[in-house]
Amino acid sequence: MTEPVLLILLSLADQPRHGYAILQDTEKMSDGRVRLSTGTLYGALRRLLDEGWIERFREEDNSRGKQAYRLTSLGQRSLQREVNRLKHLTRLASVRVARKET
């Protein structure tokens, strides 16, 4: 899973968001290091929709016609698998680096 996709899924993990809110949240989570273009964002959203990891969400107060998205249960499971994979790699790296330092 690429970092932008991971950040998009993390952005949707706590609440549904529309595209601009996802852009802002991913930039904030990465401390400004990852700045997605709208083309990158909407291409990733399209793939995530096709894979069934996210779905369109109809917001109650949607007077401006913004499309919101939210994680599906499949998306939540996929995100959790990736988080577990990253935790494993972090533990492994910590052990290996600690050996080098001693």
Backbone CA torsion sign across 2, 98, 29, 74: positive
Query: Per-residue pLDDT for 25 more than 80?
Result: yes
d(CA 98, CA 94): 6
Mean pLDDT of 44-60: 92
Beta strand pairing call for 68-71 and 17-18:
antiparallel
Amino acid letter, 29: M
Query: Per-residue pLDDT for 62 more than 60?
Result: no
Confirm if 9 and 26 have CB atoms less than 8 A apart. no
Amino acid letter, 43: G
